[in-house]
Amino acid sequence: MSNLSSIQLLKKLVAFDTTSYKSNLELIMFVKNLLEPAGISITLNFNPEQTKANLLASIGPKDQAGVLLSGHTDVVPVEGQAWSSEPFQALIKDDKIYGRGTADMKGFIACAMHAMLKAAQMPELTKPLHLCLSYDEEIGCIGVRGILGLLSELIIQPELCVIGEPTSMNIATGHKGKAVFKAICRGQEGHSALAPLYVNAIYCAQSVVEAITTTQKQIAEGPIVDMDYDVPYTTVHVGKIQGGKALNIVPNECVLDYEIRNVAEQNTESVQEKIFEYVEQSPYAKFVSFQEINQYPGLNTSTTIQAVKFLQTLLDPATELQKISFGTEGGLFHQQLNSAVLVCGPGSIQVAHKPDEYIEISQMQECDAFFERLLSHIKR
């Protein structure tokens, strides 16, 4: 049985460079080798290349509905960021723990592992505790889909799923969905001296950008809003555009990537249809094709359900209910399991993805206290 504290576990987790384009297997095997000897059941689910894996850990009665904790193991890149310390070596300074993934979201995983090991020492759990770890969340919630389909075969539908993304230990009941698209604009290559005789792919892409910005303006001025969000309506955003080879060549291709982040009351299909409608009105319509790259659903859990009230009893009385601006795997869990899903974890999203990412030790302690209360509940 491991005697490592949650902070010691976090230091070990940070040391694994699990940037999304790299393997997470060393971390996964570390978790497996730590939890399995304690009598915790482990199931691994690999990607087709066998280079990454999801993990499901379970302890407690198999014929009961329990609580599922969820976290992603991958982190965003550190290249090009000005770190003051080694990003994959946890540094404790001024009551903070610095390192890539400390807030997003290895701090939660460390606390959850610590709780699983404590649960394994309890002789009589009345409800099971599960921990699901995924890969490739940071690039579109891709990896978790591999294990979601297996959960109904492995466990009873949980009463509650807690996604441990950083919310400063407040409860998030919702977030927007996200859909990612690519617009491919084909032009006609030619000498720039004769530019008017050819179709410029960049001008074609400009018509797509105009369609997107017009659509965004209409949405912002429209009736569909959710005032619980910082931006209370669906957003459409162009994040990348690439085209042209040389100034004296009319470009024959330009590709742009854009995303739709939708509130629950507005689906992405209706937004796409509006963009298509405006593109069709342009002279470049026949030169544009669209591809859907990825999509995951939003989360919109009612604040009045029993699961919210239960989670509130395990947290500080000052805990706030909120909706978060960033996406999580929560919508996918709800879609697959139809369980109550809430987002609650230590650390702040304000420092995630930045150089010198950190989590406050007080947040780790608050998360540990939350799990202590949860364990007291499931051993009754």
Q: How sure is the predictor about 338, in pLDDT bands with cuts at 50, 70 and 90?
A: confident
pLDDT digit string, tens, across residues 250-284: 999 999 999 999 999 999 999 999 999 999 999 99
**70: its two tokens:** 């969820």
Sheet (strand 91-93) strand order: 91-93, 96-98, 358-360
Partners of 116 in the β-ladder: none
User: Which pLDDT value is given to residue 38?
Assistant: 95
Judge whether residue 324 has pLDDT over 60.
yes
pTM: 0.93
Residues 351 and 171: their CA atoms lie apart, in Å, by: 18
Strands 67-72 and 321-324: unpaired
Residue 261 β-bridge partners? 178, 235
pLDDT band, very low/low/confident/very high, at 123 (cuts 50, 70, 90): confident
| Percent helix / strand / coil, the chain, rounded to 5 | 35, 25, 40
Q: What is the average pLDDT across 102-106? A: 98
* Phi, psi for residue 39 in degrees, rounded to 5: 90, 15
Place of tokens 């459409």: 236
Would you say 107 and 359 are in contact if contact means Cβ atoms under 8 Å apart? yes
**CA–CA separation, 340 and 300 (whole Å):** 10
**DSSP state for residue 158 in the 8-state scheme:** P
pLDDT at 380: 61
pLDDT of residue 1: 52
pLDDT over 70 at 295, yes or no: yes
pLDDT at 69: 98
Contact 33, 113 (CB under 8 A): no
Which among 128, 144, 129 has a CA at the least distance from the CA of 45?
144
Answer whether 295's CB lies under 8 Å from 275's CB: no
Phi, psi of 51, rounded to the nearest 5 degrees: -105, -10
Sign of CA dihedral 86, 89, 90, 94: negative
Per DSSP, helices labelled H in 161-260 are: 201-221
Torsion, CA 205, CA 296, CA 178, CA 229, rounded to 10:
180
Q: Per-residue pLDDT averaged across 278-303, rounded?
A: 96
pLDDT tens profile 170-202: 999 999 999 999 999 999 999 999 999 999 999
Q: How far is it, in rounded angstroms, from Cα 336 to Cα 334?
A: 6
Give me the chain's average pLDDT, please: 96
**pLDDT at site 143:** 96
Q: How far is CA 58 from the centre of its chain?
A: 22
